[in-house]
Amino acid sequence: MFLALNEIKKNKLRFTLIVGVLMLVSYLVFFLSGLATGLENLNRESVDKWNATAIVLTEESDKSINQSSLTIEDTSDVNGKEMAVIGQINAVAGNGEQKTNVSIFGINKDEFIMPEVTEGDAFAKENEVIASDALKEEGFKIGDTLQLSSTAEVLTIVGFTDQARFNAAPVLYGDLSTFHRVKYGDLADKYKESINGIVVRDDKLTAITQNDSLELIEIESFIQNLPGYTEQNLTLNFMIYFLFGISAVIVAIFLYVLTVQKISMFGVMKAQGISNMYLSRSVIAQTFLLAAIGVAVGFVLTLITGAFLPSAVPVAFDLVTMLIYGVVLVVVAIMGAVFSVLTIVRIDPLKAIGG
């Protein structure tokens, strides 16, 4: 460690460059991890809020709630400890000034997926809805009347709730009759028993339903099958994993070049009896210090950047994940130093000092 610190002090510019590169790589890794978490939340936060264990859809729907069509009568074939029916439809909603994509959930007010109202009131009658507070950030407010695409029905926002986005769209919660009027218009009475799924909260899922036309899907599996969810996460995670590899290569190249430039010095030190183990530990310690400083600076810069980003940017920093990625970056940087260690071990003192 003594040799490592002395060398860093005497070659500040070289080692500052290495720290700068590691800082930029870690900054990019942390920011991508925040973006991955934020986009993940955009898709699943309303489902997570149910705190449910499974959902029952039709077997032919391929785990898609949009493609599932049940009736309230089908609840008699489902035996969950707690159950809640749900109707779901996507639409474009506008208040005359702004338009945005929304997901409309038709639910029963007295069942467990009813969201907690954080501002305003719960829906009390037909065509009243509780909106995701993401809409509030877009300029929507309580009392706004919403015109919807492909229907003449008009909804009124009576309250807001937090953490209510589904498949990246803000959710509007209304009662089942509101959902039927939006989806079927004048035929709402004819389809008043129609729903899309049955949400279940039960620790034992083995005997929830024996109806072959229904499929019980665990909540995590249901989320993984949301359109684009898995592909999006895989893409961002692959980018992060590639950055780990790139980080190791960058450190390996920098340290190898520095080692080659100091071959004669290492030769003299080995001729003086300094062991390979001591020199190797010095290189590893040096790499650890540089990587730790670079990662720490990148971590702080990421948090500062996140504090100034507009709410429209879907970034959510998970500190535990960031700390794990930080440790991985330090480890791969040390792995990148192995080439320098091997070079030092192979140095012949006589050849290095020209003997």
Spatial CB neighbours of 337, under 8 Å, sequence gap ≥ 6: 251, 252, 255, 283, 284, 286, 287
Whether 355 has a pLDDT exceeding 60, the answer reads no
pLDDT in the model for residue 146: 93
State residue 43's pLDDT score.
Answer: 87
Residue 236's pLDDT is what?
Answer: 86
* DSSP codes, 107-171: E-TTSTTPPPPSEE----STTEEEEEHHHHHTT--TT-EEEETT---EEEEEEEESS-EETTEEE
Taking each continuous run of H as one helix and of E as one strand, the counts in the chain are 11, 13
Say how far apart CA 252 and CA 336 lie, in whole Å.
4
Task: Specify the DSSP class assigned to residue 53.
Answer: S
Tell me 75's DSSP state: G
- Give the global pTM: 0.77
* Neighbouring C-alpha atoms within 13 Å toward the C-beta of 118: 10
Q: Tell me how far apart the alpha carbons of residues 168 and 41 are, in angstroms, rounded to a whole number.
A: 8
d(CA 325, CA 30): 8
pLDDT at res. 352: 66
Average pLDDT for 50-72: 91
Out of 39-53, 141-155, 332-346, which region has the weakest mean confidence (pLDDT)?
Answer: 332-346
| Cα–Cα distance for residue pair 307/253, rounded to 1 Å | 34
pLDDT in tens, 278-288: 888 888 888 88
Instruction: Kindly state the DSSP code that residue 73 receives in the 8-state scheme.
Output: G
Under DSSP, the state recorded for 92 is E
- Are 276 and 344 spatial neighbours (Cβ–Cβ below 8 Å)? yes
- What is the C-alpha separation between 135 and 172, in angstroms, rounded? 10
Give burial (CB, 10 Å; 0-12/13-18/19+) of 346.
exposed
| Chain Cα centroid distance, residue 72 | 34
Residue 296's pLDDT is what? 95
**What DSSP line would sit under 263-321, residue for residue?**
HHHHHHHHHTT--HHHHHHHHHHHHHHHHHHHHHHHHHHHHHHHHHS-TTS-----HHH
- The residue-averaged pLDDT of 258-264 equals 77
pLDDT tens readout for residues 76-106? 888 888 999 999 999 999 988 888 999 999 9
Q: Check residues 223 and 150 and name the one with the higher pLDDT.
A: 223
